[in-house]
């Protein structure tokens, strides 16, 4: 196995209310930055797929760090409330263990 920089990744998926897309993006950014600053998260990318779902790919140093973070309260209660109001449907997270890393960062 290669020497990987990323130990763990999670994919999140949501269907967001059309009139709240901007609020969702702003709240997602606040929460992501808070997780990076206080929980050890390595960052995340937010995407939209062809069917209109919002997809975030989040990186973590290990599954243990992610699991510990999941047990804590939100890093920003107000931003979490905005995200919750914007989400029409949420799907179970997809947990991923990288086996090869060829992603260009920068």
Average pLDDT over residues 23-52: 97
Q: What's the pLDDT at 6?
A: 62
Mean pLDDT of 1-24: 86
pLDDT classification of 1: cutoffs 50, 70, 90: very low
Phi, psi dihedral angles at 74 (to 5 degrees): -60, 150
* Residue linked to tokens 């449907």: 89
Q: What is the model's pTM?
A: 0.89
Q: Which of 44, 42, 46, 41 shows the shortest CA–CA distance to 75?
A: 41
Could you give the dihedral angle defined by the CA atoms of residues 21, 91, 73 and 70, in that order, rounded to the nearest 10 degrees? Answer: -130
> Which residue blocks in the chain are alpha helix, DSSP H?
21-38, 63-70, 77-86
Q: Which sequence spans correspond to the domains of the chain? A: 8-96
Domain 8-96 class in CATH? alpha beta
């Amino acid at each position: 196995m290669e020497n990987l920089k990323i130990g763990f990744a999670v994919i999140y998926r949501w269907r967001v209310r059309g009139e709240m897309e901007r609020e969702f993006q702003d709240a997602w950014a606040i929460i992501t930055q808070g997780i990076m600053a206080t929980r050890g998260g390595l960052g995340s990318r937010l995407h939209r797929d062809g069917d209109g779902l919002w997809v975030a790919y989040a990186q973590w140093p290990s599954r243990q760090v992610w699991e510990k973070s999941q047990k804590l309260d939100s890093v920003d209660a107000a931003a979490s409330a905005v995200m919750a109001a914007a989400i029409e449907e949420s799907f179970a997270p997809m947990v991923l263990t990288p086996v090869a890393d060829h992603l260009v960062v920068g």
